[in-house]
Amino acid sequence: MALNGLAIYKLLPKTNCKDCGQATCLAFAMQMAAGKASLDACPHASDEAKETLGAASEPAIALVEIGTGEKVVKLGNETVLFRHDKRFVHPTAIGILVSDRLDDAAVEARVQSINGLFFDRLGETYGVDLVAVRNDSSDAARFVEVVRKVAELSPLTPALLSEDPVALRGALEVVAGRKPLVYGAHPGNYEALTALAKEFAVPLGVRVDGLDELAELAEKIAKLGHKQLLLDSGARDVKRVLADQTLIRRLAIMKRFRPFGYPTICFADNRDGAQRVLDSVVYAAKYAGVLIIDRVDPAEILPLITWRLNVYTDPQKPIAIEAKVYEVGTPGRDAPVFLTTNFSLTYYCVMGDIESARTPAYILPVDTDGTSVLTAWAAGKVTPEKIKTFLETSGIGDRVDHRRLIIPGGLAVMTAKLKEITGWDILVGPRESSVISAFLRDNWQ
Amino acid sequence: MGVELVQERWKGKLYALTIGREPYQVVAGGDSTLPFLDLDGGSYTRPVSALTVFDRRPENWPDTLTGAWGDVLDNPVQWARKCVELGADAVALKLVSAHPEQGDRSPQECAATVKAVAEAVDQPLIVLGCAVNEKDAAVLPVVSEALNGYNCLIGQATSENYKTVVAGCLAHGHSVIATSPLDINLAKQLNILMTDMNLPPDRIAMDLSIGPLGYGIEYAYSIIERKRTGALLGDRMLAMPVICLVGEEAWKVKEAQRADDLEWGADEPRGILWEAVTAVALAQAGASIFVFYHPEALRQFNTQIDALMGK
Ligand code: SF4
């Protein structure tokens, strides 16, 4: 139930004691109404307030956890429809399918491929999250066997895709300790599956075709006492998925509609491989909690994982990269040295264009609080003195034999002053990094 | 339990930009709701997809790209014809060799090239200069004149050179690509300056300087999405359709370029997907015109758009 700030305020002690961290009870009420504070923060709330506000103080979308320890994947707790309003909190978890119809050798090969779907990017590693075993064989014993094998071979958290309580119980007895996702409950099996999910304390996927039916079933399962749920409206074509995902998210956030207050699960099972990836791009952008895809080719998974990473970065803050010496290729002692700013986009453009120029080089992104060259210059965040200090502390002087610094075209006015205080020769580079290749050809020998 | 519909009531609408000549005209924009979503009522327009032609053989292209085009790369006219055969709604001719450091071709030479291409294909023409403000200010008005009557989309006009570019387009009946540096306020400002010159608002396409997948696409995604919702909420100076140079951006990055790689997989599907994913993501944000390099990326994009349009 959505309550406005004033309705919440009426139920608070109105003493303005500040114990909640807010200046007044009214301020606290407004925070709660916006979904930014929980009633737990007020130690003086009456039982009546707790009762009435319980629902309002719960997050619009429940936090659901799959996996344990280092491999835990958190989903839910989202608060917005558009990422320009606020950060999307928990990245879509990507799971790769393994069918239990494969023979042992094929299972092993597939799991090895899945285990390899990890990519380094700027010193961090990004990869897939789940290995999803699907009970295509309809044979409970075979399912358990494959789950056991997969769990032995992969450090990734399993997702158990079966509708058969017997198969699922068998699998859970093997891997419950890794807190796998169980999928899924439908109107015919939900009582048995809910009991299993409760017994083993694992999240449960719920699938019914149609949103009305989905709301009904999610509500029934919640009444049975299980609230670690993932929703699937049964849609499989991208247009229908987009529509359902949008409505589920709107109902959860704008209407606080409890039956849809859970993350979702989507399946990219387009018949065409490349289209599966493109469907997945839409799902990751539009609210999928878990995404299951039947692809293991890194050429297809790398773009998808990169997209997921991009969508779930914080849109409010310009990403600043660390101000230090970066190498493009394997630069030698005569390699060019480029100065730029530490706004990640500026840096990446320069880096990409130097890479395409195929000239190994050093890049020095001076700290401008993550702003671009022109913004930084206009705001006085890049000065000759600052560049001098950065040149000295970065240690670049020990790594090259020359003393020639290429500065962005936008900083040309600093040339004389920079030369004077640093003792380096200053080369004015292009204003646009896209012509770095031509610039190097004509100016760097 | 009946699930209630939660609808947004959009009161604004994107301007509909028409380029080309009957019967091959295409329309970008005109949308009155979020992309591909029927929930709120209103309509959405199918994105326009174009393939890029350079006015001379491109340098430093990876094999995936050169292999896709073969021997037309030396001949803009044949290249343009092939774009149309491969299903492009429009041809985007890039005047690389006007660049002072890459040939420095004169405005007259450029005009001859665009004229030859315009005469060779029926489909609408998008003309991109060399992205050097002063040179484009010299070249684009002459090109506009040579293309009189073709109803082209011409750019990139920036805050530095828009006056001459817009004047040329106004005089010869073209639309203008307004380029701004990934900042919604600067983009809006440029639209205001251009419409102040009496350029009709339905003759502007906004180029917000997108970043490719992995390298700043998230900024572009959110600015485009904000712009789309801003326009739907009624801001007329944000209501121009967005053009995305996805080919130019996507193929710059190492993930698209690198040859076959154990960790990253084969180069061809990877490069093509890098471009197609960039485009599909930005279509979801609400952009309207997509300019590709690789014909297979265009095809994959259009297959995805078919599905999203409900075809
Ligand atoms: S802690 Fe409770 S009583 Fe004290 S100011 Fe906050 S809301 Fe009011």
**What is the number of structural domains in chain B?**
1
- Ligand 1 within 6 A of CB of A22: yes
A residues 292-331 closer than 8 Å to B (CB)? 297-300, 302-304, 306-307, 309-311, 313, 315
Given ligand 1 and candidates A6, A11, A14, A18, which is best to mutate, with the most ligand atoms within 8 Å of its CB? A18
Compute the mean pLDDT over every residue in chain B, rounded to the nearest whole number.
Answer: 95
Asked if the C-beta of A124 comes within 8 angstroms of chain B's C-beta atoms, the answer is no
| pTM (two decimals) | 0.85
Average pLDDT over residues B231-239: 97
Q: What is the CATH number of the domain that holds B172?
A: 3.20.20.20
pLDDT at B203 over 80: yes
Which residue in A has a C-alpha nearest to residue B221's C-alpha? A311
Mean pLDDT lowest among A40-44, A373-377, B178-182? A373-377
A333 touches chain B (CB under 8 A): no
Q: What local confidence, expressed as pLDDT, does residue B96 receive?
A: 94
Q: Do A303 and B270 touch (CB under 8 A)?
A: yes
Alpha-carbon distance B169 to B141, whole Å? Answer: 7
| Residue A23 CA, closest ligand 1 atom number | 5
CB of B310 less than 8 A from some CB of A: yes
* Cα–Cα distance list, B220 to A288, B88, B214 (Å): 21, 24, 12
Contact between B197 and B171 (Cβ < 8 Å): no
Residue of A nearest to B101 (CA): A438
Q: What angle do CA A268, A269, A275 make, to 5 degrees?
A: 75
> For A205, phi and psi rounded to 5 degrees?
-85, 140
Q: Are B252 and A287 in contact, with CB atoms under 8 Å apart? A: no
Quote the pLDDT of residue B81.
98
Residue B14: inside a domain: no
Please indicate, yes or no, if residue B99 is contained in any of the structural domains. yes
Residue B27 lies in a domain: no
The predicted-structure confidence for A323-351, as pLDDT tens digits, reads as follows 999 999 999 999 999 999 988 878 888 88
- Helix (H), strand (E) at residue B19: strand B16-19
Buried b (16+ CB within 10 A) or exposed e, A123-136: eeebebbbbbbbbb
Q: Do the chains contact at B269 and A355, CB–CB below 8 Å?
A: no
- For residue range A18-32, list pLDDT tens digits in order: 998 899 999 998 888
Is the residue at B33 inside a domain? Answer: no
Contact A275 B266 (CB under 8 A): no
- Give chain B positions within 8 Å (CB) of A119: 263-264
pLDDT higher at B189 or A1: B189
CB-CB: which of B252, B263, B309 is closest to A352? B252
Does pLDDT of A1 surpass 50?
A: no
pLDDT at A17 over 80: yes
Residues of B in contact with A311 (CB under 8 A): 218, 221
| pLDDT of res. A328 | 92
Q: Tokens 């039982």 label which residue?
A: A47
B183 falls in which pLDDT band (50, 70, 90)? confident
Q: What share of chain B is helix, strand, coil (3-state, %, to 5)?
A: 45, 15, 40
Query: Considering only CB atoms, which chain B residues are within 8 Å of A302?
Result: 255, 264-265, 270
If pLDDT is split at 50, 70 and 90, which confidence band does A53 have? confident
- Å between B90 CA and nearest CA of chain A: 23
What does the pLDDT read at residue B161? Answer: 95
* Digit-coded pLDDT (tens) for B93-130: 999 999 987 899 999 999 999 999 999 999 999 999 99
Residue B246's domain spans which residues?
43-308
Report the pLDDT value the prediction gives residue A379, as an integer from 0 to 100. Answer: 65
Residue B231 has pLDDT above 70, yes or no: yes
CB atoms within 10 A of CB B71: 9
Query: Please, where are the H alpha helices in chain B?
Result: 63-69, 76-85, 107-120, 133-146, 162-172, 184-196, 217-232, 246-250, 254-257, 267-285, 295-309
User: What torsion, rounded to 10 degrees, do the Cα atoms A40, A45, A47, A50 define?
Assistant: -40
User: What is the arithmetic mean of pLDDT over A69-93?
Assistant: 92
Name the pLDDT band for A369 (thresholds 50, 70, 90).
Answer: confident
Give the chain A residue nearest B3 (alpha carbons).
Answer: A212
Q: What's the gap between Cα A311 and its chain centre?
A: 7
B59 or A115, greater pLDDT: A115
Instruction: For residues B303 and A275, give the distance between their C-alpha atoms in angstroms, rounded to a whole number.
Output: 8
Q: Is residue B22 part of a domain?
A: no
A13 lines ligand 1 (CB under 6 A): yes
pLDDT at A248: 97
- Rounded Cα distance between A215 and A210, Å, is 9
| Reported confidence tier of residue B216, pLDDT bands at 50, 70, 90 | confident
Across the range A53-80, mean pLDDT stands at 87
Residue B122 domain-assigned (yes or no): yes
Mean per-residue pLDDT, A384-400:
94
The rounded Å distance from CA A1 to ligand 1 centre is 22
* Of residues A246 and A21, more confidently modeled: A246
pLDDT at B78: 98
Would you call A345 and B221 a contact, using CB atoms and an 8 Å cutoff? no
Regarding the beta carbon of A15 and ligand 1, being less than 6 Å apart is answered yes
Lowest mean pLDDT among A101-105, A320-324, B61-65, B137-141: A320-324
pLDDT at residue A445 tops 80: no
Cβ-Cβ contacts under 8 Å, B218 against chain A: 83, 310-311, 313, 315
**Beta sheet of A130-134, edge-to-edge order:** A229-232, A204-207, A181-185, A157-161, A130-134, A93-99, A290-293, A265-268
Of A274, A298, A302, the CB nearest to B300: A274
Q: How confident is the model at residue A357 (pLDDT cuts 50, 70, 90)?
A: confident
- How far is residue B304's CA from residue B311's CA, in Å, rounded to a whole number? 10
Does residue B196 sit within a domain? yes
Query: In A, residues 361-390, which contact B (CB 8 Å cutoff)?
Result: 372, 374
**Backbone CA torsion sign across B111, B112, B118, B119:** positive
- Token pair, residue A246, equals 């949008």
Within the 96-135 window of chain B, which residues sit less than 8 Å (CB to CB) from chain A?
99, 101-102, 131
Separation of alpha carbons B108 and B270, rounded Å: 39
Name chain B contacts of A92, Cβ cutoff 8 Å. Answer: none
Least confident of A48-57, A285-294, A303-312, B267-276: A48-57
pLDDT in tens, A261-290: 999 999 998 999 999 999 999 999 999 999
A16 lines ligand 1 (CB under 6 A): yes
Tell me if A106 CB under 6 Å of ligand 1. Answer: no
If DSSP codes are grouped into helix, strand and coil, which group holds residue B88?
coil
In a domain, B232, yes or no: yes
Residue A309: its chain B contacts at CB < 8 A? Answer: 214
- Is the pLDDT assigned to residue B189 strictly greater than 70? yes
- CB pair distance less than 8 Å for B264 and A299: yes
Cβ of A44 less than 6 Å from ligand 1: yes
Kindly give, in sequence order, each residue whose CB lies less than 8 Å from that of residue A434, ignoring residues fewer than 6 positions away: A349, A353, B131, B252
Q: How far is B63 from chain A (nearest CA, A)?
A: 14
Instruction: Measure Cα distances from A101 to A139, A175, A192, A257, A375 in Å.
Output: 9, 20, 25, 39, 58
Per-residue pLDDT at A319: 67
CA pair distance B162, B156, nearest whole angstrom: 8
Q: Which of B280, B303, B309, B311 should be substituted to probe chain A, the one whose Cβ sees the most A Cβ atoms within 10 Å?
A: B280
Q: Is the pLDDT of residue B172 over 70?
A: yes
Average pLDDT, integer, range B128-140:
94
A119-123, A396-400, A427-431, A438-442, range with the lowest pLDDT: A119-123
Q: What is the 3-state secondary structure (H, E, C) of chain A?
A: CCCCHHHHHHHCCCCCCCCCCCCCHHHHHHHHHCCCCCHHHCCCCCHHHHHHHHHHHCCCCCCEEECCHHHCEEECCCCCCCCCCCCCCCCCEEEEEEECCCCHHHHHHHHHHHHCCEEEECCEEEECCEEEEECCCCCHHHHHHHHHHHHHHCCCEEEEECCCHHHHHHHHHHHHHHCCEEEEECCCCHHHHHHHHHHHCCCEEEECCCHHHHHHHHHHHHHCCCCCEEEECCCCCHHHHHHHHHHHHHHHHHCCCHHHCCCEEEEECCCCHHHHHHHHHHHHHCCCCEEEECCCCHHHHHHHHHHHHHHCCCCCCCCECCCCCEEECCCCCCCCEEEEECEHHHHHHHHHHHHHHCCCEEEEEECCCCCCHHHHHHCCCCCHHHHHHHHHHHCHHHCCCCCEEEECHHHHHHHHHHHHHHCCEEEECCCCHHHHHHHHHHHCC
Residue B1 has pLDDT above 60, yes or no: no
Greatest pairwise CA separation for chain A in angstroms: 80
pLDDT, tens digit, 9 for 90 and up, residues A39-52:
888 899 888 888 77
Band (pLDDT 50/70/90 cuts) for residue A438 is confident
- The confidence score (pLDDT) of residue A55 equals 65
Comparing A373 with A412, the larger pLDDT belongs to A412
How buried is residue B119: exposed, middle or buried, by Cβ count under 10 Å (0-12/13-18/19+)?
exposed
Please tell me whether residue B9 adopts helix, strand or coil conformation: coil
Least confident of A147-156, B1-10, B94-103, B222-231: B1-10
